[in-house]
Amino acid sequence: MDKISGKLSKLMLSCEEATFLASKSQHMGISLKEKINLRIHLFTCKFCKRYKIQIDAMVRFIYKTSDANGSAKTRIHLAPDKKEKIKQALADQIKE
């Protein structure tokens, strides 16, 4: 029984490893072994599954809203008062 549980523990990823692989899969791709281990983990962990769904959605949104060069298709403009509020909040954070 110890041999089986030892092998299973090697197969099971931690949440930290699973989220790393989920992110890595979006940028560089992962090996077949990593894909299988990630799928097993996602099947058993609802939090990592939610993370994977969210990261997939973000990547789809980025691709959908960027052109072939990776530049944004549309520019988002903030009102001057909103920009100033953000700058002030950042300055306050730096002071702390």
The mean pLDDT value for 10-30 works out to 89
User: In the chain, what is the straight-line distance between the N-terminal and C-terminal CA atoms, in Å?
Assistant: 54
What pLDDT score was predicted for residue 73?
Answer: 62
The mean pLDDT value for 44-68 works out to 87
Task: Note whether 13 and 21 are within 8 A (CB).
Answer: yes
Taking the domains of the chain in order of start, what are their residue ranges? 2-95
* 27 burial type by CB count under 10 A (0-12 exposed, 13-18 middle, 19+ buried): exposed
What pLDDT score was predicted for residue 1?
Answer: 47
pLDDT tens per residue, range 74-89? 666 778 888 888 888 8
Rounded Cα distance, 96 and 93, in Å? 5
